[in-house]
Amino acid sequence: MPTDRSALAIILAAGEGTRMKSDRPKALHEVAGRSMLANVLTSAVAAGVNRVAVIVGPGRDDVGAEARRCIPDVQIFVQNERRGTAHAVLAARAALAEACDDLLVLFADTPLVTPPTIEALRAALAEGAAVAVLGFEASNPFGYGRLLRDAAGGLIAIREEKDASDDERIVTLCNGGLMAIDGAHALRLLEKIDNKNANGEFYLTDVVELARADGRKTTVVIADETEVLGVNDRIQLAQAEAIAQLRLRRAAMARGATMIAPETVFLSADTEIGCDVVIEPHVVMGRGVKIADGAVIHAFSHLEGASVGKGASVGPFARLRPGAALAENAKVGNFVEIKNANVAQGAKVNHLTYIGDADIGANANIGAGTITCNYDGFLKYRTTIGDNAFIGSNSSLVAPVTIGQGAYIGSGSVITKDVAPDALAVGRGRQMEKAGWAATFRATQAAKKAKNR
C-alpha cells in the first residue's frame, strides 16, 4: 500500500438501532470492550487513513463525543433525514470537497473489519480502480445486495434484493457495504446518484454503474463473511463478540501466551499480554489491562485497568480494579481485591484481603483478612506500607496511615496512627479470662430452656 496517498474515511453512524431495544445508539454498543464505532475508527487509522468524518443522527452528541474521544480532530456531520446511504455520505460534503486520493465509506455497525482489508480497498484504487467494493461469498445471500461481474471479473453493478431479477438473486457474491472511491471523482459521482428504485432512496451502490458509464474501472475486494458481519440486534452483537474474542485469543497465543481453556477467557481489544503468560480458565479482562512476560493469571479472576508485572501471580478468584499495579514477582491470591494501589516487587497479598488506595513496599507480607480503610464517606485517603513490613491477619489500616519499613502489625489490630520502621504495633482490646464462666453459662441457659418447655 503506497504510503504517500491521502485518505478520507467517512463512517456512517447515524443508525438508532431500534432492533437493539436500547436507549443507547447502535454505534455505542460494545464489542471486545470498546464501542463498535471505536473499533471501526481504530481499524481505519491503522490502515493509514489521515482524515476521518463521522455521520451522526440528529441530537446524537454522544456518538460525536465518542468519535472525538478516539480521534480528537475528527469531523462530525449530522444526517437530518434518512434517505439512503449516498445521502448519508453527502452529509459530509464539506469534507468531500477537500482533496484526497482515497475515499473510504465504512459503517459503525460493521465492527469486525480489519486494517488489512481496508488497506486492500485502498490498494485497489492505487492500482487504477475508480471504485472498489468489499464483497463476500454469502452462505445465505437473502437480503444482501448482489455483486454482478462481467466475464473478466470486473464489477458491473450492485443490485439490491428488492431490485434484483430472479437470475441475479442466485448470485452468492454479496455486497459487504464498505467501499473505496477515487477521491478525485468521488463528489461528482455521488452527486449524480438518484433515487429511482423500489425504496425511493439514494443508494451508494449506484456509484458503481455511474463510474462504469464514465469508462472507469470498478472492482471487488473479497473478504471473509465474518469480517463484514453487520450488527443490527443483540443476537448479531453476541455473534460479533464471539468472533472478536476468537481473534484476540488466537493473537495472544500466537505471541506466546498459554490459555488452558481459551474459549472461557474474555479479553478486551486493548488487552496487552506478554509471552510465557499463563491464563487459566474463566478469566475476564476489562479495558486497560497489561500483563508482562511470565505472569500467571489463575482461574476465575477479573482484571480491569490493571497492570501485572513480570512473573507476578494473580488469583484464583482475584479482582484487580482500575489503578491496580503489580510489580515483578508480586503475588495476589484468592479472594483479594486491589484498587488504585501499587504492590511492589515480591510483595504478597495472599488471601481474603482488600487493598485500596495504597502503596505496598517490596517483599511486604499482607495477612489474610487485612483491609485498608480508605474512605470516610466523603474523601479517599492513602495507606503506605514500607518494604519488608508484616501485616498480621485480620488487621484494619485506617488511612491516612504509614507503616514503616520492616514494621510488624499484630493480628487483629486496628491501626489509626503511623508506625515507625521496625516497630511492633498492636491495636486491639486487652484479653481477659474468667475461670469457669462457660460452664456456669451453659448450666444457666439449660435450666432456662427446661423451664420454658
Contact between 388 and 344 under an 8 Å Cβ cutoff? The reply is no
Same fold, 7-228 and 250-425: no
The predicted structure's pLDDT at residue 81: 87
Contact partners, residue 122, CB within 8 Å, separation at least 6: 1, 5, 7, 47, 48, 102, 104, 180
Q: What is the pLDDT of residues 187-221, one digit of tens each?
A: 999 999 999 877 888 989 899 999 999 999 999 99
pLDDT tier for residue 452 given thresholds of 50, 70 and 90: confident
Burial of residue 149 (CB within 10 Å: 0-12, 13-18, 19+) is middle
3-state secondary structure at position 408? strand
288 sits in the region (left: phi over 0; alpha: psi -120 to 50; else beta) called left
Residue 29 is among the residues annotated as catalytic for this protein = no
The domain ranges of the chain are 7-228, 250-425
pLDDT tier for residue 3 given thresholds of 50, 70 and 90: low
Q: What is the architecture of the domain spanning 250-425?
A: 3 Solenoid (2.160)
29, 87, 298, 351: which one is catalytic?
351
Classify residue 233 by its DSSP letter: S
Question: Residues 270-280: what's their mean pLDDT?
Answer: 98
* Cα-Cα-Cα-Cα dihedral sign, residues 96, 101, 106, 108: negative
Helix (H) or strand (E) holding 158: strand 155-159
Contact between 119 and 23 under an 8 Å Cβ cutoff? The reply is no
Helix (H) or strand (E) holding 12: strand 7-12
33 sits in the region (left: phi over 0; alpha: psi -120 to 50; else beta) called left
On the question of pLDDT at 413 being above 80, the answer is yes
CATH fold of 7-228: Spore Coat Polysaccharide Biosynthesis Protein SpsA; Chain A (3.90.550)
Contact between 39 and 229 under an 8 Å Cβ cutoff? The reply is no
Q: What is the pLDDT of residues 312-344, one digit of tens each?
A: 999 999 999 999 999 999 999 999 999 999 999
